[in-house]
Structure 1
Amino acid sequence: MHRGLKEEVFKSWLEQLIRHYDQFDNLFSFIASKFPDFTDRLDIIQDFAEELINYEKDVEELFQKDLYNIDPDTFNIQFVERELENIRKALIYICSMSAVDFERLCALVLKYIGCSPFHSTKRTHDQGIDFVGIIREEKERKLLYRGNAVSKIFVIGQAKHYEHGKVEAKEVRELAGSIYLLRSRSFAVVDEPYKGITTEIKAYTPIFAYFITSNFFTQSAKQLCKNADIMFVDRILLAMIFGLSEEYQREGHFSTNELEKAIHSVAHIH
């Protein structure tokens, strides 16, 4: 974030804006109400407005949805109320989930990105892996023998359902270690778990790693994810994935019932 507005500050303000969007139509009034000791600095308001505009462009690219429009001169903000309400409801629901259901929710993220099949893992002896899926790639087979697993991309990840506290760098390292041990089939149990996938994952099989949390990441954890090519998803992005998806809506409104039905249909891999 330029000019000193840290990303963690932006995310905190963004979440407050999502939760209370119906109370504000101007960024000045929003910040003044949430942060009474905040000094009236135009440069900070400008930074926040610019980051909101940039973030909205990313959202539009990802979801083909508009969330709000900001007047850069007056800092008036006009929300697309149905979209914000769907995100807000999804955010509240995600934060209230049980740890078991949250892991299944993370498996549904794999469905969203195109995995089939996708599974959560059993909570006991999960070997540091909470969900797994496969993206099947259609490849030219002139140089591939039949059945080569290079036509599959395995997506493997960790879910952390935190009410308080952010994901730390050490937890990202643990996920990286779990994937390394999965490749080498080194497990902390006698019977090899997840035989449906371990038998297909070889030394050079493509693996994408995801780390998903119902909270946020520390700066060092995010940097490690970037350096290690681990995709990281926080609760705001999660709320957008499920709040904006028509699959979990009824008549255009986010439905906890629809999402719960999908969550409870997620199968465990053993």
Structure 2
Amino acid sequence: MDKYYQSLIAEKNTLEKLIADTAEDEVIDLMSLQARLANINQKLKEMPEKFPEPARIKLTFRGKPVIKSHGIFAEFGTDIIAKFIDVITKLMPEKSSDKMLITSTAQGSFGFILEEYLSPENSNKSSQALAHAINQSQLVFEALLKSDDELADITEGMDKKTISAVKSFLDKLANEEAVCTFNFKEKVFKFDHIAQVKSCSERLSITNIKEDENISIFGEFLGLLPNKRTFEFKIKGSNELITGKISPSILNPEKINSIINHEIEIKVTKTTVGRGKPRYLIIEIPSILN
């Protein structure tokens, strides 16, 4: 990696640590450090694409485990970071080797800077999969504060392990009476109070997200978008239309176009979030297409 780029990253990390260690009432010192950090960030933005900046998260906490901007209880800090990283990992493709480093502490009240690890052999290439997973995790948290249908849109297709990982992170916050703020790129998400965290955790419970697996439905396909892996299906004996997605395990979904308007049986997983409308995922198509 270019030495100039390395020096900018090193200076950025140093400034972030100094800002985290500077008391909030030391206004002039903070303003000076923040101005220098803004200048470094601007230089990094202007760097050629061959020297990409690694994905970076600022994750801070407030509540009982946090002693203002001075520190955080170690047991809580290590456990909550592990649970947060587990959420990111679960949202990434299987067997991903992408990892993150804790590079410094952060104020607000207290937290950490997590940064993508760029190994020597991959120093000129940041991970799109990791950045996507981080962004997706932020969208999940945001959706937890929205309607049932909006939450269903985001969690549709997520496996139970991923949803369980998100709930485990929220449960840890709630049990320890803490809240968090999550900064990634230009976006900021935060929980305002403990009751909000508890409510979000409850929305991910098995009583609120109901999943019925291996349901047989008879009818006919009316349309298909193979690239988006979405379908429209009319149920036999009624005018009811359902739409949904096709499981990644089904290869060559475009074959379905050959049986449009033919009466067939499909097998789906039906998921309902709260009072939202059901979501359907095709898990098995007619054997004649195999």
Structure with greater proportional strand content: 2
Structure with greater proportional helix content: 1
- Structure number with greater CO (CA < 8 Å, separation at least 6) is 1
User: Which has the larger Rg?
Assistant: 2
Q: Could you tell me the TM-score, scaled by structure 2's length?
A: 0.28
Q: Could you tell me the TM-score, scaled by structure 1's length?
A: 0.29
